[in-house]
Each structure stands twice: as structure tokens, then as C-alpha cells.
Structure 1
Amino acid sequence: MATTGQHDGDEWEVADRADAPTTLRVLLYSDHVETREQVKLAVGRRISKDLPPVEWVEVATPDMAITTVDAGGLDLLVLDGEAGKAGGIGLCRQVKDEVYRCPPVLVLIARPQDAWLASWAQPDAVVSRPLDPIELQQAVAGLLRTARAA
């Protein structure tokens, strides 16, 4: 059985499960406010009709990113590979190695040729700049669907 809801004029359906979240919490790490705004604008609050709305948890420092991940309750991590003090690639490797049941991780890289470097960190997906809103939204939606199905 499924329940139907409505948000921002879009009708959506969520399976009746006691643990079905009302929102998906996505950590967005970048020390560049412009990058965070680009990601949020490209993905939006509603990724797809089959997924609940997104609650963005924005952090600008690696320490705050680790603290937030350690606190739990996140459905996806979006990490800026070009962040200043600690890039998202290194941060991805750290959380993949240290966090039990780490949420899926999407790393934003500077250019497609950097994908080989990002693969060292074992991200679940990478998206290169300049950010293509459709590609970014599809990557985020795919990772969230996969995580929810697990």
C-alpha cells in the first residue's frame, strides 16, 4: 500500500513503511558558497516524484562535515573535490574508511579527466564541472534510490 502526498504542487507517492522518511537529508560540503548554491539550484528540493523532498545540510569546513556525518541521519553526501582546506576526494576516502554504513557519496570534480583520481576515494558517483543540472540531478536521484532500496 502507498500513500500519496503533495509538495510544491507535485504529487508524489511513498511506500507505506514505518521507517519511510518524510525528507531526505543531504550533506553538501564546500567552502565556496557559490558552489553550494549551484548544487542546490541544480538539484532543487524535489528531485523526483518518487522521492521525498530534500533537506540540505550545508557545511563549509572539513571538521563540521565529519562531525555532521558522525552524528548520522544523512541519506547522501555531496562533497566538493575542489574545497580549499580539505578537498572532497580526501574527505570521501576518510568517511568511506571510518564511518560504519557510510551514506552514498557523490564527489564534484574539476574536470572529467580527474575521475581516475577520484576513484581512489571510492565515491559512489562523480560529477565534473561545469555542473550540468540534469547530470547532477540524475546522479543524486540514482544514489538516493539505491540507498533507499538497500
Structure 2
Amino acid sequence: MQPTATVLVYSDDANTREQVRLAAGRRPAADVPPVEYVECATLPAVLTALEEGGIDVCVLDGEATPAGGMGVCRQIKDEIFDCPPVLLLIGRPQDAWLATWSRAEAAVPHPVDPVLLADALAGLLRRDEHAAA
């Protein structure tokens, strides 16, 4: 049985979480493992999931409220040992500098573009695979 990758998806909006799941699908690229999703709607749920371990990549909604994905990203990079790579959904192209400030490894615009999201997620999964090897 092939190993799976676990992707945490954080947004206070269930539609955004669903868009991410549907855009990336079960397998964002042929050369990465199948993906299982852990959905979180609150910052405490994100922190709990990361502390439990087993998360390979995080997808965080930069427009989430009350805790925006950029602030959450910066917090988990500071607080979680061996924090997984983060893909941020950003509302405006001008927010790319904030994604850099938050220490996210990648950012894609919101609304979700399935091709961009799948490519970015696959890139982070490949990167995580090489880091584990």
C-alpha cells in the first residue's frame, strides 16, 4: 500500500476548505503520494493537529477570521518544532510580501485556481519528500 501525505487545510470558511480539497484532488500530481486532508476552522484546531504530528503540508487561508492565515503561519513557524511547509492563499497579489513575512514556503491567489494550487501543493509535497529522505 502506497503511503499517503496529510495536508492540513485551515479556513474559517467551509467553502474555501472545500475549494482547496476539490482543486488539489486526491493526488495533486502523478509523482506525489495520494493526499488525505485534515480540515481546521480555528487556530486552536490547527495547533492541536500540528502538535499531534503527521501533517506534511499546511494550506492556510490568508483571509480567515479572526486568525488570518499569515499570522497563523508566522505563529506556527515560531512555535512548532519541525513545522511542515506552508502554502498560503492570498486575497491580493500585493499581499505576496506578507506571505514572505509570515515565512510561508509558497503562496497562491484566492479565489482558488485549481492548476496553481495543485502545482504549488505538489511542489511542497516533493520538497517535504526530499527533506525526509
Pairwise TM-score range, normalised by the shorter structure = over 0.9
In structure 1, C-alpha distance between the alignment counterparts of 2:44 and 2:111, rounded to whole Å: 27
TM-score of the aligned structures, taking structure 1 as reference length: 0.84
Structure whose residues are more often helix by fraction: 2
Residue 105 of structure 1 is matched in structure 2 by: 86
Q: Which has the larger Rg? A: 1
In structure 2, C-alpha distance between the alignment counterparts of 1:142 and 1:149, rounded to whole Å: 11
Q: Is the aligned partner of 1:129 residue 2:110?
A: yes
Identity in percent: 56
Amino acid at match of 1:68: A
> Number of matched residues?
131
CA-to-partner distance for each residue in 1:20-60, whole Å, 9 max, x for gaps? x6110000000101101111111001112222210000010
Q: Pairwise CA RMSD of aligned residues?
A: 1.2
Show structure 1 runs of 4+ deviating over 2 A: none
In structure 2, C-alpha distance between the alignment counterparts of 1:83 and 1:48, rounded to whole Å: 27
The unaligned stretches of length 5 or more in structure 2 are none
Amino acid at match of 2:106: A
Amino acid at match of 1:83: A
In structure 2, C-alpha distance between the alignment counterparts of 1:103 and 1:26, rounded to whole Å: 10
Using CA pairs below 8 Å that are at least 6 residues apart, which structure has the higher relative contact order?
A: 2
Q: 2:62 aligns with which of 69, 81, 90?
A: 81
The unaligned stretches of length 5 or more in structure 1 are 6-20
